[in-house]
């Protein structure tokens, strides 16, 4: 059933005076069991692979300057019947089987008034991985949160700590489905520069997760091409964990990330890979007796620094708990408020390594938003601002277990009826400011940070995005997915003004769950911009209609949050994680 176009959208404007009221409303509606009145919006069944491309029906309008390819990735299946151990069921949302989607937004430049067309295709990315489960009834590799078979005894767990992975690597033997990134330096083949310094050659597309492994896929057909590890970039990048959200220098395209190796000490290696020649250098090696390995999904990049925050999501027994438990979630130590978040500021311009450290109260985050700087010309000191979607504990990680999301055997009520735990699962945007002193000190400066902004849900949400032209710059608007207590996952796209603290909402009909909103800026010459240009663009979001089990791509005016158009699918697209718009 196609989605009709005469739906009334719920547009709301709210300011800081409403923040506490709306926050309490979200808590109360969840505690009252309001989610039981809504259909299951997760869309975990009947997900379709469409190798296409298939042309979608477009209603309304999509601006021609939004043309390009929107890639999305995330889970595309969860259960397998008739394995040797019966039905295999994925136990955590993040471990669903990889499924990548492509929306080709097409416009004929020779026909400026012609309609914009949208073609759709998709492909499963982990076929050999899934086949291995089908043959054995268990995962072939460590996972994010898959609960281990209770029949595995202590000896089996002991051996799993030491055994090597025996599965033969193929392009589809790993489950990689968190982020989509184009033309990663160091991994891209046949990329060079012309006489003007512009990159030329083959385009490439990659999928990443919170491991050092990445998967290359075809940007045209989405066909898996191969797997690679960060050790391909540099021999010291041998650790198993990394960030799914590699950062790129907006000026030159250099790639930044960290690699986490575990042993007697946790070792975090911050590295940069040059976009010009693919060479990788280690900017800092961070390893101290008091530093533990942790699950870290993202980090910060400012014009002068790479900022790594090690949150209070420590992995037990210096990481040995991961193979012992078979997954990261069960390896995370019980949350303890004495375990402070540790911050490391790494110079990325002058090779000074770690130049400043500080601590903040215990907490957790999945997603950094942006980081920018203010330079004190009189002292040479640099004020650094880091914005993040923060939680007061790690409870949110288990809130994404499948039993909780699908409310199997009353798991959602039991998990969320604990008011303290529920409040811990509500995101908030936090901005911290700290000052990096000038000079070339022999040891990193121990500094203090100041929290200068704290915006509560539902005026802030998850999967935050910004205008990409403002990365590492002072900016104003964040777009995220929030939940006002009326659905299982997200129910609104919220635009948060970090200057006025006002918000605008876009909301679909009952049972519609929005995906990450990708910002596409209006094409303009660099010298034709004003202060009002930051929100001059559109948001592209894949919406799951949980009632009719269909999906559609929605195009929203980022300035007004009014809907402009839709491209409708007659099938469901699983509620995924991240995406990228590639021209």
> How many CB atoms within 10 Å of residue 368?
22
CB hemisphere CA count around 82 (13 angstroms): 0
Q: What distance lies between CA 579 and its chain's CA centroid?
A: 8
Alpha-carbon distances of 355 from 237, 250, 341, 482, rounded to whole Å: 22, 23, 17, 36
Tokens of 478: 């964040």
Tokens of 281: 């250098």
Residue 297 assigned to a binding site: yes
570 burial (CB, 10 Å; 0-12 / 13-18 / 19+) is middle
Q: Where are the beta strands (DSSP E) in 202-266?
A: 205-208, 213-217, 224-229, 241-242, 247-248, 255-261
Tokens of 211: 């491991």
Residue 578 assigned to a binding site: yes
3-state secondary structure 64-85: HHHCEEEEEEEECCCEEEEECC
State the Cα angle at 314 between 310 and 319, rounded to 5°: 115
Residue 375 assigned to a binding site: no
Region for residue 553 given its phi and psi (left: phi exceeds 0; alpha: psi -120 to 50; beta: otherwise): beta
The b-or-e profile of 198-222 (16+ CB within 10 A means b, else e) is eeeeeebbbbbbbbbbbbbbebeeb
Residue 124 assigned to a binding site: no
Q: Are 401 and 91 in contact (CB under 8 A)?
A: yes
Annotated binding site: 245, 297, 367, 578
Annotated binding site for Fe cation: 245, 297, 367, 578
């Amino acid at each position: 059933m196609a989605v009709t176009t005469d739906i009334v959208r719920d547009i709301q404007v709210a300011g800081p005076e409403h923040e506490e009221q709306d926050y309490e409303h979200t808590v109360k509606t969840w505690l009252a069991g309001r989610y039981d009145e809504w259909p299951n919006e997760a869309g975990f069944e009947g997900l379709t692979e469409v190798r296409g491309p298939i042309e979608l029906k477009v209603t309304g309008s999509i601006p021609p300057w939004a043309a390009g390819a929107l890639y999305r990735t995330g889970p595309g299946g969860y259960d397998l019947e008739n394995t040797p151990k019966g039905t295999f069921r994925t136990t955590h949302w993040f471990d669903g089987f990889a499924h990548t989607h492509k929306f080709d937004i097409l416009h004929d430049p020779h026909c400026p008034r012609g309609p914009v067309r949208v073609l759709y295709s998709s492909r499963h990315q982990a076929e050999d991985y899934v086949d291995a489960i089908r043959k054995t009834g268990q995962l072939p590799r460590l996972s994010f949160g898959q609960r281990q078979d209770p029949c595995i005894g202590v000896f089996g767990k002991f051996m799993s700590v030491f055994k090597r992975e025996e599965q033969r690597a193929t392009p589809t033997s790993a489950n990689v489905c968190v982020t989509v990134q184009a033309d990663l330096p160091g991994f891209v083949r046949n990329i060079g520069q012309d006489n003007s310094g512009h990159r030329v050659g083959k385009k490439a597309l990659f999928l990443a997760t919170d491991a050092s492994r990445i998967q290359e896929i075809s940007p045209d057909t989405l066909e898996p091409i191969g797997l690679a590890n960060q050790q391909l970039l540099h021999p010291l990048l041998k650790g198993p964990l990394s960030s799914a959200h590699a950062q790129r220098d907006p000026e030159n395209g250099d790639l930044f990330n960290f690699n986490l190796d575990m042993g007697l000490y946790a070792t975090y290696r911050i590295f940069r890979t040059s976009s010009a020649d693919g060479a990788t250098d280690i900017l800092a090696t961070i390893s101290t007796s008091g530093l533990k390995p942790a699950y870290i999904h993202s980090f910060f990049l400012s014009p002068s620094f790479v900022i790594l925050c090690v949150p209070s999501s420590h992995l037990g027994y210096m990481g040995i708990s991961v193979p012992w438990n078979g997954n990261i979630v069960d390896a995370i130590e019980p949350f303890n408020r004495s375990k402070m978040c540790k911050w490391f500021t790494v110079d990325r311009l002058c090779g000074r390594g770690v130049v400043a450290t500080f601590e903040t109260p215990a907490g957790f985050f999945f997603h950094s938003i942006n980081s920018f700087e203010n330079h004190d010309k009189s002292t040479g000191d640099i004020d650094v601002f880091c914005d993040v979607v923060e939680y007061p504990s790690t409870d949110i990680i288990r809130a994404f277990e499948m039993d909780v999301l699908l409310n199997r055997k009353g798991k959602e009520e039991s998990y969320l009826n604990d008011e303290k735990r529920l409040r811990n699962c509500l995101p908030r945007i936090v901005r911290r400011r700290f000052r990096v002193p000038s000079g070339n000190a022999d040891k990193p400066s121990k500094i203090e940070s100041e929290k200068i902004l704290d915006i509560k849900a539902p005026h802030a949400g998850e999967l935050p995005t910004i205008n990409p032209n403002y990365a590492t710059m002072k900016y104003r608007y964040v777009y995220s997915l929030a939940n006002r207590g009326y659905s299982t996952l997200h129910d609104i796209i919220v635009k948060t003004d970090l200057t006025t603290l006002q918000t605008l909402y876009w909301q679909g009909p009952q049972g519609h769950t929005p995906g990450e909103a990708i910002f596409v800026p209006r094409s303009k010459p660099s010298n034709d911009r004003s202060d009002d240009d930051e929100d001059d663009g559109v948001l592209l979001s894949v919406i799951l209609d949980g009632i009719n089990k269909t999906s559609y791509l929605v195009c929203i005016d980022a300035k007004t949050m009014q809907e402009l158009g839709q491209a409708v699918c007659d099938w469901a697209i699983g509620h995924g994680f991240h995406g990228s718009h590639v021209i």
